[in-house]
Amino acid sequence: MAERTLAIIKPDAVKKKAAGKIIQRIEEEGFTISALKMLHITKEEAEGFYAVHKDKPFFNSVTDFMSSGPIIVMILEGESAINHWRRVMGKTDPAMAEPGTLRHSYGFDIQFNGMHGSDAPETATFEIGYFFKDE
Ligand code: CMP
């Protein structure tokens, strides 16, 4: 089923200049990038985005991290885009991610893991709307 998901290239991957290679992989995987922008979010915007994690021990540090530098947010479209993008990223913890996945190649640890993807259709709707309100 054709679907949309939100992908984010996080501050660590932007800083290490991996964004081009990540976008190239996205295109090679057959996704259509239907929207893309670079932005530097505030701590409050990161807290709103990760609100589902507000009771987790890593909430403060992940929202500091996500507001620490520019990110690239994209809407990816394609057949089963949510699960497809999650497979291409690999497991949340790069140490557990399979060789060939983007987090294996560009992630550092469970927090500085290079990129984000929506985990379900309802999350994708919320996350796309969070960054692409007008579009
Ligand atoms: P992401 O897929 O964007 O979803 C939530 C983010 O929180 C996750 O990637 C990591 O960047 C971060 N995260 C998840 N689990 C942990 C953890 N145990 N410790 C630190 N950061 C985490």
For 67-97, the pLDDT digits (tens) are: 999 999 999 999 999 999 999 999 999 999 9
- Residue holding tokens 């290239």? 9
Greatest extent of the chain over all pairs of C-alpha atoms, in Å: 38
CA-closest residue to ligand 1 atom 10:
111
d(CA 133, ligand 1 centre) in Å: 24
**Does the C-beta of 68 come closer than 6 Å to ligand 1?**
no
Report the alpha-carbon distance of residue 17 to residue 106 in Å, rounded: 10
Distance between CA atoms of residues 82 and 68, nearest Å: 26
CA-closest residue to ligand 1 atom 22: 111
Determine whether the shortest distance from the Cβ of 92 to ligand 1 is under 6 A: yes
Measured CA to CA, the distance from residue 112 to residue 109 in angstroms comes to 5
86 lines ligand 1 (CB under 6 A): no
Which residue minimizes the CA distance to atom 21 of ligand 1?
111
Which of the two residues, 35 and 1, has the higher pLDDT score? Answer: 35
- Residue 135: pLDDT above 80? no
Distances (CA, A) of 28 to 16, 53, 114, 116: 21, 32, 18, 18
- Which of 73, 110, 112, 115, when mutated, tests ligand 1's pocket best, judged by the most ligand atoms within 8 Å of its CB? 110
Q: Any catalytic annotation for residue 116?
A: yes
Say if residue 134's pLDDT is above 70.
no
Q: Which CATH number fits domain 3-42+71-131: 3.30.70.141, 3.30.420.40, 3.30.160.100, 3.30.930.10?
A: 3.30.70.141
Q: How confident is the model at residue 44 (pLDDT cuts 50, 70, 90)?
A: very high
Query: Any idea where the domains of the chain sit in the sequence?
Result: 3-42+71-131
Which residue is closest in CA terms to ligand 1's atom 8? Answer: 111
pLDDT tens-digit series, residues 21-34: 999 999 999 999 99
**What does the pLDDT read at residue 1?**
80
Task: Report yes or no: 123 and 83 within 8 Å, Cβ to Cβ.
Answer: no
